[in-house]
């Protein structure tokens, strides 16, 4: 079941697991039993801006490690090596 966020006017926000067809209905506050309305919010993710906008999660994790000062281990490139060529061949 999905988790939805509701806000009680007296107690504040709380989360509640509900069926999707019941998501629009008012919920009862677990603390004071007051009817509470559902809160619509964005997902927990943040929008990337700037040069990291198109970066993958691996690249972002590597940059976060570098910014934190954590040592980054580098080694030989992985994957297959491309053959050496003596110029362009068409």
What is the residue extent of each domain of the chain? 3-38
Give the integer Cα–Cα distance in Å for 2 and 72: 38
pTM of the model: 0.45
**How high does pLDDT run on average in the chain?**
77
> Is 65's pLDDT higher than 60?
yes
Per-residue model confidence (pLDDT) at position 32: 93
* Angle made by CA atoms 45, 48, 1, in degrees to the nearest 5: 15
12-51 tens-digit pLDDT:
888 888 888 888 888 899 899 999 988 886 655 555 566 6
């Amino acid at each position: 079941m999905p988790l939805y966020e509701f806000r009680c006017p007296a107690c504040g926000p709380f989360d509640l697991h509900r069926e999707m067809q019941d998501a629009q209905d008012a919920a009862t506050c677990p603390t004071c039993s007051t009817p509470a309305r559902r809160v619509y919010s964005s997902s927990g993710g943040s929008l990337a801006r700037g040069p990291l906008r198109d970066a993958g999660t691996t690249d972002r994790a590597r940059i976060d490690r570098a910014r934190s000062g954590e040592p980054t281990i580098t080694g030989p490139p992985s994957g297959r090596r491309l053959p050496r060529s003596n110029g362009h061949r068409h």
